[in-house]
Structure 1
């Protein structure tokens, strides 16, 4: 597969024939990214064991495929120890109600995401007027209403530790959402970045379909605080990750990741911040 050259030969691509409609990429022995439609979810854990965690919960209607992927990788009737959320936008929690009912496992998210996960508050409406492509224009069709997880969702520990993943720590990376978090493992500098930055220009339908790799800021049509988003990217770049799995786009690693993140930090205003849009504060430029 030609795309393998874009992110290095260390990755193992697992074709869709065995695990459904998406494409799976084994990024590290215990780090696996799977794409369904326009978004990725992540599995952390050694294959064949019962000790794994799911990060994010995909698009609405994807629960059966996600369960199938987990069983393919970890065994029949396997279930994660927990579900971790980078944030609560519809494409990251689309299957979570069905997954929680099926697995009966706890969900963890930042405390600032709790209103959106417990039925209390809707996200701001997507901005179809923002500079971008067809996906941005389609964004009014995307749901922004809260979901109701009730007592199934818990706050991430205030000390930065990650339940069921002792080697990781969570980092508050707001901007795209108030309680957006990323997960980082120091020993190999593995980063699960969610939508703090992505590796495809998510506003462009063509690039979403082709998965053309291009580091970008958070998806524009749902980002409401660009000053915070810029600081979050600076924070993550300062970690010097060796590999990054993002919410949209292919994983990125090595020199390409280092150079791309450095360029994003240096030219964030030009690369990431749209020239116009409902949530664009011109004072940041």
Structure 2
């Protein structure tokens, strides 16, 4: 189908598998409280596409159905790109890699220890405060995923496999090998968790999805100075559109203003008042974690843990009942929801 004929097609939005538009040719899918992205390549053939991040454990079938809706059954991605390897960004991979046996996963070389079973990430810190999502973070899966030879390092020259016109940016802090993906022609940024557009520490904020630029999820960020440097670098790009690992995409002057403010006031706006890694970052090398600061003596109250579990359970239930998430900041035209090719 040509681009012009594609624009004449009408799709019932209620039938879409919880997809939301970023820009034409790029769709996100919210998996309870985290996002994954489907990116159509601009070169021929136009059916070529890549997946950026892979959602929560147990979400493989839903990620597969969204891919088949957009690009057709039997059309696997040219590659899977990871911003990082936390459990909520790689959870569907066991299912998807069985489904797509010839697809390679790409991540930064410093992220490979956590994707090949060599090292666990620094433990989450539930004492950072901010809400129920943080309080119960000690319950989140911690074991490293072992993808073996299916995961390969991103090219050292900054190019992105199968996405001409894109480059990857080294944005550590949230994890040692965190990257973001940037398309200069329209200043589009897929930022992962380098910064996010919701207050991810709060279950209420995660449900409401109010758009606001925030620092990386505090309970999973072990190196705040590096995170600050990464946010500063991304702010200097002045992106026009940012789609992040958590929250709704943002665009334009509001995005640029809030991201610039976050970079300038990072200590006040992003760094928690207390926490295991505040003032004492964890360190890592190509083999994985090499130093962890002592665990804090302060404990999370049991009531906060219980409230967090209840809120997260409610979030799962409510999201399961919704077919389409709230609108994005990007103006959602019917074309943005259309399938890229007729089959």
TM-score by length of 1: 0.91
Give the match for residue 195 of structure 1: 193
List per-residue Cα deviations over 1:118-147 (Å, max 9, x = no partner).
Answer: 011001111111121000011011011111
**Aligned-partner SS, 2:111:** helix
Per-residue deviation at 1:50?
A: 2.2
Task: Determine if the alignment matches structure 1 residue 279 to structure 2 residue 277.
Answer: yes
Q: Distance in 2 between matches of 1:138 and 1:17?
A: 33
Question: What is the aligned counterpart of 2:36 among 26, 38, 41?
Answer: 41
Q: Distance in 2 between matches of 1:235 and 1:93?
A: 25
Give the match for residue 31 of structure 1: 26
Q: How does 1:40-119 map to 2 (within 5 A)?
A: 40-45=35-40, 49-104=46-101, 105-119=103-117
**Aligned-partner SS, 2:69:** helix
TM-aligned CA distance change 1:140 to 1:242, over 3 Å: same
Name the Cα RMSD after superposition.
1.7
Q: Distance in 1 between matches of 2:217 and 2:133?
A: 10
Give the match for residue 137 of structure 1: 135
Structure with bigger gyration radius: 2
Per-residue deviation at 1:213?
A: 1.4
- Contact 1:243/1:257 (8 A) holds in 2: yes
Q: Distance in 2 between matches of 1:282 and 1:79?
A: 43
Per-residue deviation at 1:44?
A: 0.8
**Aligned-partner SS, 1:136:** helix
Q: Distance in 2 between matches of 1:95 and 1:76?
A: 17
> How many residue pairs get matched?
268
Q: Distance in 2 between matches of 1:142 and 1:260?
A: 29
Q: Distance in 1 between matches of 2:111 and 2:12?
A: 34
Per-residue deviation at 1:77?
A: 2.2
Give the match for residue 6 of structure 1: none
Per-residue deviation at 1:225?
A: 0.2
Structure 2 residue ranges without an equivalent (≥5)? 1-10, 282-343
- Contact 1:90/1:143 (8 A) holds in 2: yes
- Contact 1:106/1:153 (8 A) holds in 2: yes
Per-residue deviation at 1:76?
A: 2.1
Structure 1 residue ranges without an equivalent (≥5)? 1-13
Q: Distance in 2 between matches of 1:138 and 1:282?
A: 22
Q: Distance in 2 between matches of 1:268 and 1:123?
A: 23
Q: Distance in 2 between matches of 1:197 and 1:229?
A: 9
For CA contacts below 8 A with separation 6 or more, give which structure has more relative contact order: 2
Give the match for residue 261 of structure 2: 263
Per-residue deviation at 1:78?
A: 2.0
Per-residue deviation at 1:111?
A: 0.3
**Aligned-partner SS, 2:30:** strand
TM-aligned CA distance change 1:177 to 1:69, over 3 Å: same
**Aligned-partner SS, 1:169:** strand
Range with bigger deviation, 243-252 or 74-83? 74-83
Task: Determine if the alignment matches structure 1 residue 209 to structure 2 residue 204.
Answer: no
TM-score by length of 2: 0.76
- Contact 1:19/1:68 (8 A) holds in 2: no
